[in-house]
Amino acid sequence: MKLLEDRIMKDGLALSETILKVDSFINHQVDLTLMQEIGKVFASIYKDKGITRVFTIESSGIAPAAFTALELGVPMVILKKQTSKILVGDVYQTNITSFTKGTNYELTLSAKYISAGDKILVIDDFLANGEAASGAAKLVEMGGGSVVGIGILIEKSFQKGRKRLQDAGYQVTSLARIAKLSRGKVELTEADV
Ligand code: G4P
């Protein structure tokens, strides 16, 4: 997606060989006009796939997921990150380890917001090792739904997430794909859109 790629090249900051800082338009300050355009792009790709809910993982996936859900006319569900197993009510949980942040949490979905036969589009900001997206897919399947696609804003193609998700049979749509990062330098490769 040219608009996002151009913005990454203009405002993204490569902090190291693994971390791209996008605080000024995705992770801290949020450019809602850009998020709205992103929502339109994901919706145009998935509009005929019978999506019933858009799932995302708190917190930075919420803005693009909201605009995608709005465009598709379906609810958005925010998967929660809980620090421990808190089994209040009927919930599905799976443990996630973030290699980038060195954190560990229980990704949590209330059984109220997934039904057998649900067709889910998962949206998230970054794809690194695919831990969060794989966890989201697992929760969907625990609830009897299926994952129709996984939409990513920025894929770090030098990490294993995309391969992991595709090997598991999921369709991955990345709006920007980073081939290489080095301090102060971002190299993109061809995106899916
Ligand atoms: P994975 O799910 O693909 O395996 O990714 P990983 O655990 O390695 O990273 C998870 C967290 O780190 C996510 O944030 C993700 O957005 C963030 N992240 C990964 N790579 C980068 C990067 O290069 N730059 C930035 N800015 N963030 C990155 P999170 O814990 O879900 O937090 P939130 O921002 O959504 O609240």
Residue nearest to atom 8 of ligand 1 (CA): 100
Cβ neighbour number for residue 169 with a 10 Å cutoff? 8
Residue nearest to atom 10 of ligand 1 (CA): 98
pLDDT at 101: 86
- Over the chain (193 residues), what is each successive 10-residue block's mean pLDDT? 98 97 98 98 98 98 98 98 79 93 94 97 98 98 98 98 98 98 97 97
The answer to whether the Cα torsion of 146, 149, 154, 157 is positive or negative is positive
Measured from the CA of 133, which atom of ligand 1 is nearest?
Answer: 2
Ligand 1 centroid to 74 CA: how many Å?
25
Residue nearest to atom 34 of ligand 1 (CA): 60
Q: Could you give the dihedral angle defined by the CA atoms of residues 163, 167, 173 and 177, in that order, rounded to the nearest 10 degrees?
A: 10
Q: Could you report the per-residue pLDDT of 9-40, keeping only the tens digit for each?
A: 999 999 999 999 999 999 999 999 999 999 99
Measured from the CA of 125, which atom of ligand 1 is nearest?
Answer: 16
Ligand 1 centroid to 186 CA: how many Å?
17
* Ligand 1 interacting residues, C-beta cut-off 6 A: 19-22, 27, 57, 59-61, 98-101, 125-132, 156, 161
Give Cβ neighbours of residue 144 (< 8 Å, ≥ 6 apart). Answer: 114, 115, 116, 117, 118
pLDDT at 85: 77
Ligand 1 centroid to 143 CA: how many Å?
25
Closest CA to 22 of 10, 38, 33: 10
Q: Could you give the dihedral angle defined by the CA atoms of residues 115, 117, 121 and 122, in that order, rounded to the nearest 10 degrees?
A: 50
Measured from the CA of 99, which atom of ligand 1 is nearest?
Answer: 8
β 103-110/91-98 pair status? antiparallel
Q: Could you report the per-residue pLDDT of 149-162, keeping only the tens digit for each?
A: 999 999 999 999 99
Measured from the CA of 128, which atom of ligand 1 is nearest?
Answer: 3
pLDDT at 84: 77
Measured from the CA of 135, which atom of ligand 1 is nearest?
Answer: 2
